[in-house]
Structure 1
């Protein structure tokens, strides 16, 4: 492992879109994480139309990272992506990179109670902003 590479990294996994503006909120989350946890390597991957998770994890491994935690940046875990596609993808990448530990953090990020509270508060702010004076 290189002297400057941390042993652990976080990979934010989003769906992706052909519109590059779609990824901006995920990039903003990554930027905030880099401020909150400067010693942690943070990377972004997408299922479609962006950096592939396998490529991102391979680069992290080449930099000396030994453990990657994959955090799904999704609103719901109820779809096939998080029920089937993402676990299968992570398992396949783990087989391809046996020297790394790859952990799927669990369900969609937006199922976290704190994230749900933040989303509800943001919705309420929009109601207040649209209310007549």
Structure 2
């Protein structure tokens, strides 16, 4: 079984918006040598999620975990992502596709964000 990780972000018109997500992807690639890690977008940027998954499958991946790099479970994660997952599963019936929760809802990520907020106050 060949596993891969796809970071799923919203996308924006400004190319610079993707920079933090690209750094996250690059750091994960260093941390997970041998595991393909890609970045995909819902809209406004490329690649879109179905195309990113198709590229992974073409490279022999048969187990993909999609991690939404969203702060919370809004409409995009409640409606759009499940619809995309259904489309992807139909196009790649042998693929194991797992959807993680929104990264911003993870307790460890919440703790890191709290720490950042406290540090932003300065000498506390």
Give the match's secondary structure for 1:17: coil
- Unaligned 5+ runs, structure 2: none
Give the distance between the partners of 1:94 and 1:23, measured in 2 at CA.
Answer: 27
User: What's the offset of the Cα at 1:39?
Assistant: 2.0
1:125 lines up with 2:119 in the alignment: yes
Q: TM-score, normalised by structure 1?
A: 0.87
Q: TM-score, normalised by structure 2?
A: 0.93
Give the match's secondary structure for 1:11: strand
User: What's the offset of the Cα at 1:100?
Assistant: 1.4
Give the distance between the partners of 1:124 and 1:28, measured in 2 at CA.
Answer: 23
- Unaligned 5+ runs, structure 1: 1-5
Give the distance between the partners of 1:37 and 1:96, measured in 2 at CA.
Answer: 27
1:43 lines up with 2:38 in the alignment: yes
Q: Which has the larger radius of gyration?
A: 1
Q: Which residue of 2 aligns with 1:30?
A: 25
Equivalent of 2:108, from 97, 107, 114? 114
